[in-house]
Structure 1
Amino acid sequence: MRMIPSQPLVTSSNAEIRMFDQLRSAFSRPDQNGWFAMHSLNLPRHEYKRFGEIDFVICGPEGLFVLEVKGGGVSCHDGIWETTNRYGETERLRESPFKQAEGALHGLRGKLPASLSNVFVVGYGVVMPDVDRLPDSAEWDRAVLADGRDFRQFEKWLERFIRYWSAKDPRKSAATPSQLKVLQQHLRPDFEAVVPLHVSAHEVEMRIARLTEDQLRLIDVVEANPRVICSGGAGTGKTMLALELAKRWSASGMKTALACHSPWLKRFLERNAVPGLIVSLAESLHVAAKRASIEGFDALIVDEGQDILNMYVLAQLDRCLHGGISEGRWCFFHDANNQSGLCGSYVPDAYEYLESICPVRIPLKTNCRNSLPILQRIQGDLDADVGNSGVGDGPAVREICVADADSAIQALEKELHDLVDVERFSLGDIVVLSPLPFVQSWTSSLSENLRGSISVLDDASPRNINRHSIGFAQIGDFKGLESEVVVLVDMPRPGHSEPLRSLHYVGMSRARALLSMICC
């Protein structure tokens, strides 16, 4: 089932995250591709509350349904409902979960436009994944409850649940694809939020990067134009938007390819890709098409396009796209800031060729990755255009300047200990970036105890979202990726070496919440 957004929004509920995964894996047959689900839909017009939130809304040809999720232990005594979390803490609910779900459904129905108000079979349900058996009651029908046993075979329960509500309104016919599209577009202003590339519990990380006005405009423009060049500095949401666009084009039935130059970025894109999307290195897109048993793609998206803007790679892409580069449907995301020689190959003639086709050009101007102190430091030291701040304030940039390598190693040792022991960052929140391989970096000379807490990342690392160690990577490999905390090492102060400008630009802009630099 297609999920909107494609990753769970920030939530303290482990049960909602498990529910998200169950829905994503449900209804995956080709004849079920009309279904989609939305996580955490806000209802400003809730029937009787000033503000309401629905855990999950499920939409498809057979109906529109609301699911309320209650994790942990659940009990009811004398009409009083309580939940108990994994720490043994008990919370009294203001109403039963079934009343809550029913009220949310009425609020949602009141929000629908007149053209859709009587189109869908509607229903509500409650999911309690940690409760093995809830006693039957006159307060609810068993068919609307999924307990722990149902949760383990969730798709079967969901099919029974839909049949139950459909039987209550048998005169309703299946909703058409156009009606489902209208419904999705109507609800979009309330739910369309794209989750940052990584989600963490720290303050800056809690700020969901909503699609800004210029990003929404990009999506609308791309849908209306077959060829688009989208340019923006680091952190302006290019990769995030590439994935969102790929999701939409794939959902519309187009055979879509998402290409890039970096194997590391490819791994990350694969982990976040929707089913049916082909993710490939640009140079081997023809191999990906052959493996998919297709002659060519209906649509092409290129991320970090500045890395593959040369005539050789463009010729490869041209052969794999229906209509070619000149007449096919494509969108190039690229960073106009100078990064030449850092990763891939950029040839100005190739960009001029793309421009000669007269694509629509869209600039991205809002930075939705870096906190304001990081943004200001990049702009001040490197005079780079990385957009206007959309994240807000955060911790000050930390800079430690030393005279020699031995002092740098000592400073790095102390900084990593401070970040973990004093600032209380998790090991997995931190990545050390260097222009050098690990064996040549100051990092390799840290104490044995600290070195044991550091993992040298490789191109498979972006698949692992649960890393429990400090990461180390070379800056060029980490292009297109990001980390909550970045410690930049083995370099002089930014702005003092023009040959290192590209490395400073990429390295500094990988940090979302906190940037630390050890300079020598």
Structure 2
Amino acid sequence: MRVIPSEITSRSVSAAERSVFKALKDIADEKSVALHSVHLPRHQKKRVGEIDFVVIMPDLLLFIEVKGGRVRTEDGNWYYGPRGREEARESPFAQANGGMHEIERLLGARIGDLRNQGVASGYLVITPDVDLDRTTEFEPQQYLGTTAYNGGRGLALGIDRAIRFWLPRNRWAHTPISDTLRRKILDAIRPEFDLVPNLQSRLMHLDAAFERLTAEQLDRLDELESMPRLVWTGGAGTGKTFLAAEAARRKSATGTVLFTCASRTLATHLSLDLADQKVTVLPFHRLDEVRDRHFDHLIVDEAQDLMTFAELDELDNLLSDGLTAGRWLFMLDQNNQVLKTDSFDPEARDYLFSLGSVYGPMKRNCRNTEQIVSQVRT
């Protein structure tokens, strides 16, 4: 099953969510898409809400709530977390139900009432580490405990059981949901709720500042999993550096990452932004500091300033399996050689392009918007 984002870091989510994340990816289902950590900034009962996973399937829109570690109740309150000390007034079933209805409301405002379009919905609560005692609050088909979950091996069966449980309870259901409608649901949720901290917010530690990724940018990030060698091209302001930083975060979950560029100032800025990640950030002129190492992933920003065979050879020596078979991402604006205008070798560019998949030019300008250009022109 396709999961968005395609990778997550160990620091960003709990071990329980990482387990479900992997189990979803292991399910042999090419038609369904799961979105991780869907935020609800306008939840009616909370200032900020979140659904752990939203799974868009041909038969059902399934909302998954994951509770890892210890789970206990006392005096009507629920407690979660490693030691069962994180208090919540609602049960996980009430949380899942509330999130489900809030998403339905928000989607209805954007793409039309889901019931009128025959879309069935339901939820599933998963506690990968414990088994909850049966209560009147849930039916067995709405829950997957540690025994049935079985380290993720029982997730596919649990989802099938949930589908069979929920479909008869959605009398308006028309299955399968059309590909067009499922695409509308995905497009409505992803740009609205899949938020990534921008560079400025991380640099200034302003947790409240977030940037929405455009659909084009998200598609590029999703390519990381299936394409080991990528070149993204685009002009100034199309978000190449922003995407490169987010790509580095995601790749750090699966191995060592080297992030380099020709600009010392940009490298300093990115080293601060990626300080909490397992990413080595160095300007190109300092790569001799790691010449005895080999990295699993290489990310090069403003690659047009490093586009000679000599510089590509140096990068090749630092990457496991080299440029021909290794895993890398180059961000390139071939019309803008800022640092070394006389060192851009078209033959080196063509050689690099022959080794990987090339996308571009990216069309969405995130910095030089129409409004900004109009003001400058005025």
- Normalised by the length of structure 2, the TM-score is 0.61
Give the CA deviation at 1:74.
0.6
Aligned-pair CA distance for 1:434: 7.3
CA offsets 1:125-148 (integer angstroms, 9 cap, x no match):
2110000x2211112212111111
Aligned position for 2:105: 110
> Paired residue for 1:135?
133
DSSP-derived class of the 2:183 partner: helix
Deviation at 1:41, TM superposition (A): 1.1
Instruction: Count residues in correspondence.
Output: 288
Letter in 2 for 1:109: E
After TM superposition, the structure 1 stretch with the greater mean CA deviation from structure 2, 122-131 or 49-58, is 49-58
Q: Any unmatched runs of 5+ in structure 2?
A: 247-260, 299-312, 331-338, 346-378
**1:192 deviation in Å?**
3.9
- Whether 1:123 aligns to 2:140 is no
Q: Using the alignment, how far apart are the partners of 2:103 and 2:185 within structure 1?
A: 11
What CA distance in whole angstroms lies between the structure 1 residues aligned with 2:107 and 2:342? 57
Looking at structure 1, the residues matched to 282 and 40 of structure 2 have their Cα atoms a distance apart, in angstroms, of 42
1:417-452 deviation digits (Å, cap 9, x = unpaired): xxxxxx9x89x5447787799xxx6768xxxxxxxx
Structure 2 equivalent of residue 2 of structure 1: 2
1:58 to 48, 55, 60: 55
Q: 1:95 to 1:194 in 2, by over 3 A?
A: closer
Contact 1:435/1:475, CA 8 A, preserved across alignment: no
- Whether 1:462 aligns to 2:361 is no
What is the CA distance between 1:457 and its match in structure 2?
A: 0.9
The structural deviation recorded for 1:48 is 2.1
Offset at residue 163 of structure 1 (A): 0.7
3-state SS of 1:6 partner: coil
Q: What amino acid sits opposite 1:144 in the alignment?
A: Q
Matched, 1:149 2:147: yes
**Deviation for aligned residue 1:178:** 1.4
- Secondary structure of 2:47's aligned partner: coil
Cα offset for 1:170?
4.8
Q: Is the 8 A contact 2:40 2:49 kept in 1?
A: yes
Deviation at 1:76, TM superposition (A): 1.7
Any residues of structure 2 matched to 1:225-264 within 5 Å, and which? 242-244=220-222, 246=223
1:122–1:365 distance in 2 versus 1, CA, 3 Å: closer
Give the alignment of 1:368-447 within 5 angstroms: 368=242, 369=244, 394=272, 429-430=279-280
Q: Which moved more, 1:46-55 or 1:175-184?
A: 46-55
Q: For the Cα contact (< 8 Å) 1:38–1:191, is it kept in 2? A: no
1:36 maps to what in 2?
33
Say if 2:38 and 2:51, in contact at 8 Å, map to a contact too. yes
CA deviations over 1:9-39 (Å, ceiling 9, x no partner) = 763412111111111222x2xxx43311111
Matched-pair contact (CA < 8 Å) for 2:71–2:79? yes
Amino acid corresponding to residue 106 of structure 1 in structure 2: H
The answer (yes or no) to whether the contact 1:433–1:475 under 8 Å persists in 2 is no
What is the Cα deviation at residue 481 of structure 1? 5.3
Alignment partner, residue 349 of structure 2 = none
Distance 1:144 1:365 in 2: 41
Give the deviation of 1:279 after TM superposition.
5.5
Rounded to whole Å, the distance in 2 between the matches of 1:22 and 1:195 is 26
Percent identity of equivalent pairs = 24
**Contact 1:5–1:193 (8 Å) recurs in 2:** no
Q: Following the alignment from structure 2 to structure 1, what is the Cα–Cα distance between the partners of residues 8 and 166?
A: 27
Question: Residue type matched to 2:178 in 1?
Answer: T
- Give the 3 Å change call, closer, same or farther, for CA 53–436 of structure 1 in structure 2: closer
Paired residue type of 2:173:
K
Deviations 1:321-352 (A, max 9, x none): xxxxxxxxxxxx337xxxxxxxxxxxxxxxxx
Matched, 1:189 2:200: no
Partners of 1:56 and 1:442 lie apart in 2 by: 42
Using CA pairs under 8 Å that are at least 6 residues apart, name the structure with larger relative contact order, 1 or 2: 2
* 1:7–1:209 distance in 2 versus 1, CA, 3 Å: farther
Say whether 1:94 aligns with 2:89.
yes
Distance of aligned partners of 1:430 and 1:142 in 2 relative to their CA distance in 1, 3 Å threshold: same
Displacement, 1:195?
A: 9.1
Task: Show CA shifts across 1:374-427 (max 9, x none).
Answer: xxx966x69xxx7xx9x89948xxxxxxxxxxxxxxxxxxxxxxxxxxx9x89x
Query: Hey, what's the Cα distance between the residues in 2 that align with 1:2 and 1:179?
Result: 17
CA–CA separation in structure 1 for the residues paired with 2:189 and 2:104: 12
Amino acid corresponding to residue 457 of structure 1 in structure 2: H
**1:202-281 → structure 2 map (5 Å cutoff):** 210=211, 212=213, 216=215, 219=216, 242-244=220-222, 246=223, 269=224, 272-273=225-226
| Equivalent position of 1:334 in the other structure | 233
- The aligned residue for residue 364 of structure 2 is none
Per-residue deviation, residues 246-295 of structure 1 (Å, max 9, x unmatched): 4xxxxxxxxxxxxxxxxxxxxxx5xx22xxxx667xxxxxxxxxxxxxxx
Deviations for 1:224-261, whole angstroms, at most 9, x for unmatched residues?
A: xxxxxxxxxxxxx7xx76443x4xxxxxxxxxxxxxxx
TM-score under structure 1 normalisation? 0.46
Letter in 1 for 2:43: H
Aligned-partner SS, 2:297: helix
Q: CA RMSD in A?
A: 4.6
Query: What residue identity is the alignment partner of 2:96?
Result: A
Q: Could you tell me how far 1:59 is from its partner in structure 2?
A: 1.3
Equivalent pair of 2:67/2:126 in contact (CA under 8 Å): yes
Who is 2:354 aligned against? none
Residues 192 and 210, structure 1, Cα contact 8 Å, conserved in 2: no
The residue type equivalent to 1:48 in the other structure is: K
Separation of aligned partners in 2, 1:74 and 1:90: 9
Q: Which amino acid aligns with 2:297?
A: P
| Correspondence for 1:364 among 238, 261, 265 | 238
Q: Secondary structure at the match of 1:151?
A: helix
* 3-state SS of paired residue (1:65): strand
Equivalent position SS for 1:456: coil
Counterparts of 2:286 and 2:119 in 1: how far apart (Å)? 59
**Distance 1:436-1:193 versus aligned 2 partners, 3 A rule:** closer
